[in-house]
Amino acid sequence: MLTLHFAPNSRAVRSLWLLEELGLPYELNRMDFHPKDLKSDDHKARHPLGRIPVLEDGDVMIYESGAIADYILERHKNGGLKPASDAPNFPDYLQWFHYCEGMVMPPINTIVVHTILLPEERRDATVLGQAQRLLARSLQPVEEALQGKDYLAGEFSAADTMLGHSIMMAERMGIVTQEHPNLKAYSARLQARPALQKAFEFET
């Protein structure tokens, strides 16, 4: 049985969403996004930095949401959500799967730090503005790539659970606006998926 160590309002929802999309059985260890849980001795035995998500599969303990997705798809994929390496849409899948952490999440992380995590007196409006502009620029290629497509690789895939989650975060931050009609429609399509709605039940 797979066990996902999870905290709400984090990248861990990507892993939970993927498990739900694949219909895989799992157990969920829901923790608070707070040092009392994440920095506990028990959890630091799973992740040395006390972060989430962590996937436990027998003797295997693996973290980083992208690595977890790859692991699940290779060992437990249950028939889908990743194109074959010789499929025409495999390059698109691969690019957008990794674009998430390479280009979109770094400015999102900075925005979170300077709007939520830091006390107000330590927040830097200049750094925040730079991150917001960088995020907007990083989203433009995704807006263009979705022209005429429902999903990033044509058909729904794990690239959507990765990058799609980040698009929804950017939308909540006010960076995805009516000037991004493809991203807005894409976000609405993702949020209508029953598997994501199920995953979001654990966010509250």
Q: What is the mean pLDDT of residues 127-152?
A: 98
Confidence of residue 78 (pLDDT cuts 50, 70, 90): confident
Of 134, 161, 150, 153, nearest to 183 by C-alpha is: 150
Q: How far apart are CA 194 and CA 101, in angstroms?
A: 25
Structure tokens at 66: 């992208």
The per-residue pLDDT for 163 is 98
Distance set, CA 39 to CA 20, 27, 76, 169 (Å)? 27, 21, 29, 25
- Tens of pLDDT, residue by residue over 88-116, are 999 999 999 999 999 999 999 999 999 99
Model confidence at 79: pLDDT above 90: no
Q: What is the mean pLDDT of residues 131-140?
A: 98
Q: How far apart are CA 159 and CA 151, in angstroms?
A: 9
The per-residue pLDDT for 204 is 73
**Global confidence as pTM:** 0.95
Is residue 68 within 8 A of residue 15, CB to CB? The reply is yes
- CATH numbers and ranges of domains, the chain: 2-81 (3.40.30.10), 90-193 (1.20.1050.10)
- Mean pLDDT (the chain) is 96
Model confidence at 201: pLDDT above 80: yes
- Tens of pLDDT, residue by residue over 22-60, are 999 999 999 998 899 999 999 999 999 999 999 999 999
